[in-house]
Structure formats: structure tokens, C-alpha cells
Chain A
Amino acid sequence: MDVRKDFPILAGNDLAFLDSAASSQKPEMVIQAMDAMLRSGYANVHRGAYRLSAEATDAYEAARAKVARFIGAASPAEVIFTRGTTTSMNMLAAKWGGDRLVAGDNVVLSVMEHHANLVPWQFLKGVELRFTRLTADFALDLDSLAELVDERTRIVSITGMSNVLGTITPVHRIREIADRVGATVIVDGAQLVPHLPVDVGDLGADFLAFSAHKMLGPTGIGVLWGRPALLEEMEPFEGGGEMIDEVGLYESTWAPVPHKFEAGTPPIVEAIGLGAAVDYLTNLGMDSVRKHDVELTGYALERLASVPAVTVYGPTDLEIRGGTISFTLADIHPHDLSTILDENGVAVRAGHHCARPLMDHLGIPATARASFSVYSSVDEVDRLIDGLAVAAELFDIGN
């Protein structure tokens, strides 16, 4: 995929940037769209009767429509702009969970969840949390899920693609199991949406959360998609301007969906940036994005397998994994590995990747993680492998 020229930061830097799962770089198209909005199109939205505000509102709502088309939503009203996946998950835990669940109900997660799909559920008092296990090949263990789901299960909330292992989960199968007891299915799509074609009409989820900054867009904005009937039923998360219909001193009524979930001035410029990111990805084609990930991941796994004492934590089957590769090298702590790779011009993440319980489950304190985006290259993978050789030498491994 010959797109590196579209990313100014890559042109001006010889760093092998292998940390796109944490946050991706931005193409010129996104930078220019946000710049143009700030220079000539900016005003607050859904407020002023003057022309500039009306145009800003149109641009903001057009971005919503782009996102809706990108994920196959039937209507833009199904797309709520939030601050990001974390806010989307907190909203769901509080309003779809906290408002509706009672003591003794349970929520089923998995052991590989990001803290954003774990900690918000821990806020629910008296609600039991259950954790789906993994198979030996780091896939979601559907037998384990089926055992955990019972008549008190109200919500099944699971990542679409693990930010540590790269594991892609079978949402259709999760849906079938949840349907046996009428539980809601929530998908944390922070890693899924940037990397695979997603059609919410076919996904099998009731709610889908994702962030712009991991899909070539800006920080500060994300999405909560939900089935219309569920969004109607769910109460607002925050009160304030824009989310209201009638306001009195003691009570108020809410604006229609999606605006009842968007209190206060929204991230307007960021929405424009997300719209441009969606345009960029649509131009590439999400099938091509997926193909690039699979090819590069296959190459990286093959090269990593040739390095003595490397252990990869994640599926070997490319069909059920994305371009996020966690690994360790002998007894070198991942932080040391990260420092050594950084000195050799390779940026990887080291640590627990906001998935501490998964590290405990795997019985390791941390991993190093290389993760790809559309601009990632074979050359960068080669430089990672070269950097690992330097690390092995420094730590006297294999001698």
C-alpha cells in the first residue's frame, strides 16, 4: 500500500513507527480539512441563526453522515459523537448498565479487555462481572462464553479486536449466545473499526464504540453507535446545552437522538477531521486496508519466528488476528526492549497496554507490542527484527 507520502510526519522522520494501535498518524487530508475548518468555516454548531454557524452545523452533521455510511448505519442519527471509546464505554456502563441492572445481574466481558471496557463496569455495585477465557491459540473461547452466560446476564461486552493480542472476535457467535438469554451485545471497536470493514447492519452488535485517533483522525472525538430503539430507551449521560428540548427550573425534556447524548459544545473541528479520515479510508477501501494488515502481519510473524527466544502472544491464524503483535524476547523486560529499539529508530509500545488483567492471565508482567496501520511497511518490520538482534547482543542472549 503506497500511502506513506500522504503522511507528513512519516516523510519528515526516519522513525519506524510501530505503535499505531496506541494512536495512528494523520494524513494530509485530515490535517487540511481541520485547518480549513479553523481558518474559514468555524463557528459553534446548532446555535446561531447566522450563516457561518449554519454552515458549520452542516459540516458537522455531514461528518456524522460520513461516519454513518462508513459503518453501514441506516441513519446518521444512530451515530453519537463522544470524546472517544472510553467515554462511549462509560456512557454505556452508566446508562445502559447502571440505570437498568439490579443486584445479582451479571455482565460478561473477556480476560483480554482494555481497561476502557473493564473499569467502567466495576463502577456498578452489586453487579457480577464474568470473564470469558481464551483458547490455546488466543482466540475467544466460545465454550467459556456459553458457560458464563445465564438468565441473569444482561450485557455481553467484548472487544472486536484485542489491542494486545490482535485477536479478532466472532461477533455473530457472541450474538447467538447472548440471544439465548436476551442480553445486549456491546462491541469495543477501538481496534476493529480502523482495520476491518464493519457493517453494523450485519455485525451482530447492539452498540459499537470506537475512537477517531486510532483510525487516522484526531484525538478528542469518538463514536457510540447504537440500535435506534436502544438509543431511544437510554437516558442522557450528561446534561447541559444542546441535549435539551424544553428547560424549566426543576425539570427538562431531551432533544431527540443523537443530540440528547451530546451535551455542551461538541468537538466540532475534530468531527470534521474524523469525516476526512473516513473519506481517506473509504478511498483506500477497507478491504484493501485489511489485506495490507494481513500481508504485513504474516510477514512480521514469519520474521519474528526466525528470531531465537522470541515468544509471540496472539493467534497464529491470520484469519482471526489483526496487525497488532505482542511479544517478548527471552528474559529482557519489554521496557528495556523498547528503550533499545528506540535507540535504533524503532518505536514500539511496552507494558501492559491498558490490559493488566490479561497480563496476569498470560502469566507475564508485560509485553512489547508492534502494531501497524495503512502506512506501515516491510522495511519497518525489517528494522524491528534488526533492533531485536541488537537487544539480544546487549543482553548476551543466544551466546
Chain B
Amino acid sequence: MAVGLDNLYKEVILDHYRNPRNRAGLSEVDRHADGNNPLCGDKVAVDLALDGDIVSQIAITGQGCSISQASASLMSEAIKGKSFEEIARLRQLFTTMMTSEEPIVDPDRPGAVLGEIEALAGVKAFPVRIKCASLPWATLDVAISGAADRVTTD
């Protein structure tokens, strides 16, 4: 079997795909955005409850491939309780992980840079799938900025 596939479909990814976190709806929603990948049909919607500039609660809905849904689940865990500024920093690290030639993940210290999200590092070897992993983050951007409520990644 190709090595890349083992790096892509890690246990963490399958776990978050099959048992996605933060799926319960919020009683009060301050920000909302729908993300859609029309080419492949992936969907992710983000609801946020805010306490000032802190994301106090997050709820995810949507359906799609394991990469998009696991990425949404991982993201939801990583950003809960974080400020917009901290989230922007995570967002930047995630983008770098997906696009940079230089690996940002330290193999000797797994999880030190981006926690469990590092399980998505293997996606970089599959360029057509990067947009799956990025969809939840692009949707989160829009929810936080409050600019629009629909996102498409293509």
C-alpha cells in the first residue's frame, strides 16, 4: 500500500470522522457561516457563541469526506475558549502546514505545534484534498469576521 495513504488516514482522522466533536446545537448563536465545496459536495456550517472576543462555544454541522469532517471536528476542539487573536495564529499555522514546503511539524515532538490537528499534515501530499481540510477554517474565518454567511472553496 502507498505510504501516503497511511499518513492521510490516521487513526485520529478516522476517529474524528466517525465521532465528530461539538455537534450539539447551541442555544444562542452569535455568529454563523455556511461553507460549501460545490465541486465535491463537502459541507461545513459553523455556529459560534462569543464572550467578547473569546469563542466560548462552537457547534459544527455538515457532511462530507473524512478529511473535511475530521478537520472541522479537530478545529472545533482547538478553538473553543480561544480569543480571536489566538485563533488567527492557529489559522496561520494550519495554512502553513497545508501549503509550505518547510515542514512546521516537529517529528520529535508530535502535537507540539498544532496539537491533534497535526494529524492532517499528510493531506499536503494530496493537493486535490487540501481544499477539503481547509473548508472548515475558511468557514470559521467568515463566521468570525461576520462578513457574509456563505463560503465556497474551489
Contacts and interface: CB of A to CB of B under 8 A. Distances in A.
A339 B129 contact: yes
Interface in A331-356: 331-336, 339-340, 343-344, 350-352, 356
- By size class, the interface of chain B is 20 to 34
B4 A366 contact: no
B41 A366 contact: yes
Contact of B39 (A333, A334, A339, A351): A351
Contact of A351 (B9, B41, B67): B41
A394 B5 contact: yes
Q: Which of B1, B4, B18, B41 has the most CB of A within 10 A?
A: B41
Contact of A343 (B5, B66, B132): B5
B41 A331 contact: no
Contacts of A198: none
A360 to B, nearest CB: 11
A346 B110 CA distance: 33
Contacts of A350: 40
A65 to B, nearest CB: 39
Contact of B126 (A339, A359, A365): A339
B49 interface: no
A344 B66 contact: no
Interface string A305-343: 000000000000000000000000001111110011001
Interface in A349-373: 350-352, 356, 359, 365-366
A93 B8 CA distance: 45
B9 A336 contact: yes
Given A339-B129, A343-B4, A395-B9, A352 B66 contact: no
Interface residue tally of chain A, by bracket? Answer: 20 to 34
Contacts of B67: 335-336
Contacts of B8: 339
B64 interface: yes
A340 B41 contact: no
A390 interface: yes
A7 to B, nearest CB: 25
Contacts of A344: 1-2
A141 to B, nearest CB: 26
A331 B18 contact: yes
B65 interface: yes
A333 B8 CA distance: 14
Contacts of A379: none
A135 B104 CA distance: 54
Contact of B132 (A331, A334, A335, A359): A335
B100 interface: no
Contacts of A396: 14
B9 A394 contact: yes
Interface in B77-100: none
A351 B14 contact: no
A262 B139 CA distance: 44
Given A335-B65, A351-B39, 8 more contacts: A335-B40, A336-B66, A340-B9, A343-B4, A344-B1, A359-B41, A394-B9, A395-B9
Return the 3 tightest CB-CB contacts between A and B, nearest first.
Answer: A335-B65, A333-B65, A343-B2
Interface of B: 1-2, 4-6, 8-9, 14, 18, 39-42, 63-67, 126, 128-129, 132
26 contacts: A331-B18, A333-B66, A335-B129, A335-B132, A336-B67, A339-B126, A340-B5, A343-B1, A343-B2, A343-B4, A344-B2, A350-B40, A351-B39, A356-B41, A365-B63, A365-B64, A366-B40, A366-B41, A390-B1, A393-B1, A394-B1, A394-B5, A394-B6, A394-B9, A395-B9, A396-B14
